[in-house]
Chains A and B, each alone.
Chain A
Amino acid sequence: MAQFRPKRLDLGCFTNIKIIRDHTKRKVFEEHEPERQALRFMIRNTSLPQRTRAQAQLQLTQMHCYTRPTQIRNRCIMGGKGRGVFRDFRMARYQFRMKALAGQIPGVKKASW
């Protein structure tokens, strides 16, 4: 969503629209996390009146989808791929293989046992 995006590109790595989108989602989620948590707390708190809890539910569902943590997906920093991305290296499997064979990932070697 363009309204959340900064005027200037604030990314230094490989960029394509999917990466920018994901980055925006992360930032928006970070910004709204306390609000989301507060609403979640109100919804689950049985000592609060039903009405308050229902209102909190409504408010939570009406928040923008970019504020949801489930929107965030790890993407390959080298090629922007969304599948087969290693959390340890933030790279998709093929990029990881190339880098590892080139010796550019510290400590990673070809294994044989």
Chain B
Amino acid sequence: MATPSYARSALCLGKRLKLSPPPNPAIQCQTRGLRQRATPAHALAGTSPSQHVQKRHESTQSAVEEAQPSPPIDAATAAKELQRIRLPRAVQATYLDPLRRPSRYHVKTCELQLRSYSIRNLEVFADFAMRAAYYLKLPASGPRPLPKITERWTVPRSSFVHKKSQENFERITVRRQIEINDGHPETVAVWLGFLKKHQYYGIGMKANVFEYGGLEVAQDMDAEAEAIAEKLGETLDLVGGKRSLMNSEEEVQGMVESEPFKAAWGAHAAMSGAQSVPHAHKRIASHVVE
């Protein structure tokens, strides 16, 4: 067979079934679309199921005569039963609009902007992001379409002399924005990480994340600075010049005023702007050795 049996259309099945003496209405009336996957293999196979069942019944008749034979499966009822089986909710939901969780406090915690040159990719990914937010229990709103960005370029079709004949090109960037309200910073980070992991082709993303602190911001920052200082240890002393040297103001003042230092930046030269030029003996750094 060139095509597999499940790939043939219902019309084809009908044709085949006409060959067998009793036409089977159960298969002709089977629904198409989503449900088709749920139909049993034998219903879609080449032979009609009633024949199949009959054959099996004959072969087992003698052997299991007294062992209470199970009633033969009627194809019509089987199809009905199968129709009644629903798809899992999560699968059904993919055919519907993404679900949203209501926001309670309306405190914005994240703004995600998606950009693309192709609207289809963008729609798909925005939908994906909304679903991801729902399952992470983040109240998301959107995707809100932002104004398109249209860039246009005009170039001459050929060389300089033929300036009259030009051609226009454009690039339109479409944008969508998804806002997360009342999201825990960690959950938002998880959401963004998940979206980054499952990035879709041709989509750019950028996110503004808002974090809120208590009123004691300064104290928190001090505590954080101390924690960082502990971690860094001695290396912190070297940040922005040696701290241990800078601690005593007089020392620094003395260093700045010392004549060798002044000389180094040109205080002793002409036009230096310094008040006076010291005598030679003062220009030498002298340390008292004890």
Residues on A lying within 8 angstroms of B by beta carbon are 48-52, 55, 86, 88, 93-94, 96-97, 100, 105-112
Nearest to A42 among chain B residues (CB) is B265
Q: Is the CB of B168 within 8 A of A112?
A: yes
Q: Is the CB of B169 within 8 A of A110?
A: yes
Q: Is the CB of A109 within 8 A of B151?
A: no
- B10 CB within 8 Å of chain A: no
Q: How far is the CB of A79 from chain B (nearest CB, A)?
A: 14
Would you give the 0/1 interface string for B67-83, flagging 1 where the beta carbon is closer than 8 Å to chain A?
00000000000000000
Residues of B within 8 A of A49 (CB): 265-267, 269, 271-274
Would you give the 0/1 interface string for B161-191, flagging 1 where the beta carbon is closer than 8 Å to chain A?
0000001111111000000000000000000
Q: Is the CB of B171 within 8 A of A108?
A: yes
Contact partner of B117 (CB less than 8 A), chosen from A97, A106, A111, is: A106
Residues on B lying within 8 angstroms of A by beta carbon are 117-118, 151-153, 155-158, 167-173, 202, 265-267, 269-274
Please measure, in the bound complex, the distance between the C-alpha atom of A86 and the C-alpha atom of B169, giving whole angstroms: 13
A-B contact count (CB 8 A): 60
Please measure, in the bound complex, the distance between the C-alpha atom of A96 and the C-alpha atom of B153, giving whole angstroms: 10
Please measure, in the bound complex, the distance between the C-alpha atom of A107 and the C-alpha atom of B156, giving whole angstroms: 20
Please measure, in the bound complex, the distance between the C-alpha atom of A84 and the C-alpha atom of B137, giving whole angstroms: 52
Nearest to B202 among chain A residues (CB) is A106
Please measure, in the bound complex, the distance between the C-alpha atom of A106 and the C-alpha atom of B121, giving whole angstroms: 13
Query: A86-B153, A93-B156, A94-B155 in contact; A52/B266 too (CB < 8 A)?
Result: yes
Please measure, in the bound complex, the distance between the C-alpha atom of A16 and the C-alpha atom of B239, giving whole angstroms: 45
Residues of A within 8 A of B117 (CB): 106-107
Q: Is the CB of A93 within 8 A of B155?
A: yes
Q: How far is the CB of A53 from chain B (nearest CB, A)?
A: 9
Q: How far is the CB of A107 from chain B (nearest CB, A)?
A: 3
Q: How far is the CB of B113 from chain A (nearest CB, A)?
A: 17
Please measure, in the bound complex, the distance between the C-alpha atom of A50 and the C-alpha atom of B172, giving whole angstroms: 55
